[in-house]
Chain A
Amino acid sequence: DTAVSQTPKYLVTQMGNDKSIKCEQNLGHDTMYWYKQDSKKFLKIMFSYNNKELIINETVPNRFSPKSPDKAHLNLHINSLELGDSAVYFCASSLGAGTGLQETQYFGPGTRLLVL
């Protein structure tokens, strides 16, 4: 009974391809996030959606486009993949976008993307 799930778990693709990663949460949360963890293990936020609306968009190339069809889903589409996009991408969700208990984030298992 997974709370935050991501598909696929592994993704190996060629440079220049377009790929999507899907995320679903069954916690009834309003806010969802995408994080990127690079080879040096630094974990950085990319996007955040609250009630299907974009609220955080860090300095991320335009090739990355998040889409939230409903509150329970936040997908990440990546165009024209580059070698530097190789990383682990984590989806997370929280009850809301406030502070304290509302902000507690629950993470998915990650999607390991390798661009060749």
Chain B
Amino acid sequence: DAKTTQPTSMDCAEGRAANLPCNHSTISGNEYVYWYRQIHSQGPQYIIHGLKNNETNEMASLIITEDRKSSTLILPHATLRDTAVYYCIDRGFQKLVFGTGTRLLVSP
């Protein structure tokens, strides 16, 4: 079973930053935090991952707390195409364990 908890749904206005929180309080020291998203009817898409340090790529930023018990995915300028279910995953070794994710709705 998934060990992460996320809000069921969130709304965001187009052009604003979307901040998606995730709790992973039982994460062990060598487990990465992964974020994927699933746009309607498509396969999950990798966004970003991190271990301890904050990470940024062309899609998003990942902020991990110092105790590593939680993290926040930031989409700096959300667009309508970012509407999707976002999954935070802390068990990446050999398999991904998906929870229920956060359904992000970006509105005009």
Q: Is A68 an interface residue (CB 8 A)?
A: no
Binding site for A on B (CB under 8 A): 30-32, 34, 38, 41-46, 49, 51, 85, 87, 92-98, 100
What are 26 contact pairs spanning A and B, CB under 8 A? A4-B43, A41-B100, A42-B98, A42-B100, A43-B87, A56-B94, A56-B95, A90-B44, A92-B43, A92-B44, A99-B31, A99-B92, A100-B32, A100-B49, A100-B51, A101-B49, A103-B34, A103-B93, A103-B96, A104-B34, A104-B49, A105-B44, A105-B46, A106-B46, A107-B44, A107-B45
Residues B43 and A103 in contact, CB atoms below 8 Å apart: no
Residues B46 and A104 in contact, CB atoms below 8 Å apart: yes
Residues B44 and A103 in contact, CB atoms below 8 Å apart: no
Residues B32 and A103 in contact, CB atoms below 8 Å apart: yes
Nearest opposing residue in chain B for A91, CB measure: B43
Q: How far is A91 from B55 in the complex, measured between Cα atoms in Å? A: 27
Residues A109 and B43 in contact, CB atoms below 8 Å apart: yes
Those 4 A-B pairs whose CB atoms lie nearest each other, nearest first: A107-B43, A43-B98, A103-B92, A45-B95
The smallest beta-carbon distance between B47 and chain A, in angstroms, is 10
Note all chain A residues with C-beta closer than 8 A to B97: 45
Residues A109 and B46 in contact, CB atoms below 8 Å apart: no
Nearest opposing residue in chain A for B103, CB measure: A41
Residues B92 and A110 in contact, CB atoms below 8 Å apart: no
Note all chain B residues with C-beta closer than 8 A to A48: 94-95
Nearest opposing residue in chain A for B31, CB measure: A99
Q: How far is A105 from B37 in the complex, measured between Cα atoms in Å? A: 12
> Which of A41, A55, A105 is B85 in contact with, Cβ under 8 Å?
A41
Q: 16 extra interchain contacts, Cβ-Cβ under 8 A, other than A55-B94, A107-B45, A110-B42?
A: A42-B98, A43-B38, A45-B95, A45-B96, A45-B97, A97-B93, A97-B94, A99-B30, A99-B31, A99-B32, A99-B93, A100-B32, A101-B49, A103-B49, A103-B94, A107-B43
Residues B93 and A105 in contact, CB atoms below 8 Å apart: no
Q: How far is A97 from B92 in the complex, measured between Cα atoms in Å? A: 9
Residues B42 and A33 in contact, CB atoms below 8 Å apart: no
